[in-house]
């Protein structure tokens, strides 16, 4: 009956349109009262969920991404990708994906990626003769690549949700190849659709133009090198690297590029504060919700239920993927990481999967949810930028969904995709 109260109140509030942070908090409070426990327990669990030192990295990474977004780095990355591969037929679609891979490795945010690159590339693609739905579909699906290519603050949330037993450095390493694989799958989909629709190609600007664009983009790209290199070498922790990323972002955008105005700086600061407040509140309420799930032995019950369905590990892993995909369509990423990690991590480790590999699977699965209604926050951003209806994009987005699903299955059933690099540095 306790679980009925917990999930029933949660679903009711969700259907009523209550923000997810308040939905998690209120349903937890109602359940605690039903269990005849002091309501103070919910607030204690919320405080404990947010009072984690490693979470300090999140506001810094968010801030660094906002500074680079408003400091002109995204535009330089687009110019680099356009100079390198824009001459291929339908090349702007491929440029979109490659730009997301480059920018995602700096911002770590799918929404920031879709907003920054979408506002730049979608108007250009439409002027060049590309359909609006194609431009949006490429933009929003490729924006999810930033969730796996490091640094990603969602990986830090996963590490904390796993009890701090999963190394952030290992997660960063594990995300490289799956991120590149996802990008390649999306590039194939973008190219095939571009060929079928007869989209144009641009003239190759020459090697000198490519080298010039690379030189302009290099200072921004070095950000990821500094962060990852410093963490792997042990020079600084992930939390310290996030603070260094902010300092470096200010130096590059304000003094090297000289493209960060005072107004842009204030906008980046304001956006970072707002996003951080939302993320931390969601993490706190999700921690309380997750504690109630653990208290009521939901992980053990779910594992027993799955075993009644099948004892084949491949089938069970497929079921876990399907559940994560469905959950991702109804909830935002941060609370889902906090809630689902304690539930599914024991299950997949029992099946022999490394926790690092599961972290990458979680990122890709929940990333697909960000471009899938009814929540689909990244999809909403792309449609808002292009000023088209969501229904218009959904009719033609299926090749890109197939590309993302192919990446999920490869990462799930081929451990080497995500574990090769972490194993080399262990």
Per-residue pLDDT in tens (0 to 9) along the chain, 426 residues: 788 888 888 888 888 878 888 888 899 998 899 888 888 888 888 888 888 777 788 888 888 878 887 777 777 877 888 788 777 877 888 888 888 887 766 666 677 777 777 777 788 888 888 888 998 999 899 988 888 888 788 888 898 888 888 888 889 889 989 999 999 999 999 999 998 888 877 777 788 888 888 888 888 778 777 777 777 777 777 778 888 888 888 888 888 888 888 888 898 899 888 888 888 888 888 888 888 888 887 777 777 887 788 888 899 899 999 999 888 887 778 888 888 898 899 889 988 899 999 999 999 998 898 888 877 778 888 888 888 888 888 888 999 999 999 999 999 999 999 999 998 876
Kindly state whether residue 397 falls inside one of the protein's structural domains: yes
Q: For residues 320 and 315, what is the distance between their CA atoms, to the nearest angstrom?
A: 9
Q: For residues 168 and 157, what is the distance between their CA atoms, to the nearest angstrom?
A: 10
Scanning the structure block, which residue is given the tokens 């022999």? 352
Residue 196's contacts (CB-CB under 8 Å, 6 or more residues apart) are none
Kindly state whether residue 156 falls inside one of the protein's structural domains: yes
Kindly state whether residue 3 falls inside one of the protein's structural domains: no
Q: How many folded domains does the chain comprise?
A: 1
Find the radius of gyration of the CA atoms of the chain. Answer: 21
Shortest CA distance to 393 belongs to which of 410, 376, 412, 405?
376
Residue 16 tokens read as 């009523």
> What pLDDT, on the 0 to 100 scale, is given for residue 292?
87
> What pLDDT, on the 0 to 100 scale, is given for residue 107?
60
Shortest CA distance to 84 belongs to which of 215, 233, 211, 235?
211
> What pLDDT, on the 0 to 100 scale, is given for residue 249?
85
Residue 60 tokens read as 């810094």
Kindly state whether residue 375 falls inside one of the protein's structural domains: yes
Kindly state whether residue 314 falls inside one of the protein's structural domains: yes
Q: Quote the domain boundaries for residue 248.
A: 54-424
Kindly state whether residue 325 falls inside one of the protein's structural domains: yes
Kindly state whether residue 2 falls inside one of the protein's structural domains: no
Shortest CA distance to 285 belongs to which of 36, 44, 56?
44
Kindly state whether residue 34 falls inside one of the protein's structural domains: no
């Amino acid at each position: 009956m306790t679980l009925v109260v917990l999930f029933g109140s949660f679903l009711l509030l969700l259907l009523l349109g209550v923000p997810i942070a308040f939905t998690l908090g209120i349903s937890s409070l109602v359940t605690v009262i039903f269990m005849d426990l002091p309501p103070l327990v919910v607030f204690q669990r919320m405080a404990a969920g947010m009072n984690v030192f490693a979470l300090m990295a999140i506001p810094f990474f968010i801030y660094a991404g906002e500074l680079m977004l408003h400091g002109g780095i995204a535009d330089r990355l687009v110019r680099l990708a356009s100079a390198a591969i824009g001459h291929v037929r339908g090349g702007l679609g491929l440029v979109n994906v490659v730009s997301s891979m480059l920018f995602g490795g700096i911002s770590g945010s799918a929404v920031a990626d879709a907003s920054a690159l979408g506002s730049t590339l979608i108007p250009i693609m439409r002027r060049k003769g590309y359909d609006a739905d194609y431009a949006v579909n490429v933009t929003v699906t490729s924006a999810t690549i930033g969730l796996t290519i490091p640094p990603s603050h969602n990986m830090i949330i996963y590490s904390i949700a796993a009890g701090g037993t999963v190394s952030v450095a290992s997660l960063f390493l594990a995300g490289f190849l799956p991120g590149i694989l996802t990008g390649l799958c999306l590039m194939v989909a973008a190219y095939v659709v571009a060929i079928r629709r007869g989209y144009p190609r641009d003239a190759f600007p020459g090697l000198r133009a490519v080298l010039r664009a690379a030189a302009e983009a290099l200072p921004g790209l070095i950000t990821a090198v500094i962060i990852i290199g410093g963490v792997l070498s042990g020079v600084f922790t992930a939390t310290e690297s996030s603070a260094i990323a902010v300092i470096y972002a200010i130096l590059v955008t304000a003094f090297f590029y000289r493209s960060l105005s005072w107004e842009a700086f204030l906008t980046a600061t304001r956006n970072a504060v707002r996003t951080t407040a939302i993320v931390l509140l969601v993490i706190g309420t999700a921690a309380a919700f997750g504690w109630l799930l653990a208290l009521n032995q939901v992980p053990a019950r779910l594992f027993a239920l799955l075993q009644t369905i099948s004892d084949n590990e491949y089938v069970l892993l497929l079921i876990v993927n399907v559940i994560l995909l469905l959950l991702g369509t109804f909830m935002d990423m941060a609370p889902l990481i906090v809630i689902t990690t304690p539930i599914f991590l024991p299950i997949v480790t029992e099946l022999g999967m490394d926790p690092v590999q599961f972290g990458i699977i979680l990122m890709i699965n929940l990333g697909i949810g960000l471009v899938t209604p009814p929540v689909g926050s990244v999809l909403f951003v792309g449609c808002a930028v292009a000023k088209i209806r969501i229904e218009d994009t959904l009719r033609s987005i299926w090749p890109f969904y197939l590309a993302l699903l192919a990446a999920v299955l490869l990462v799930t059933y081929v451990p080497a995709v995500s574990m090769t690099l972490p194993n080399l540095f262990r």
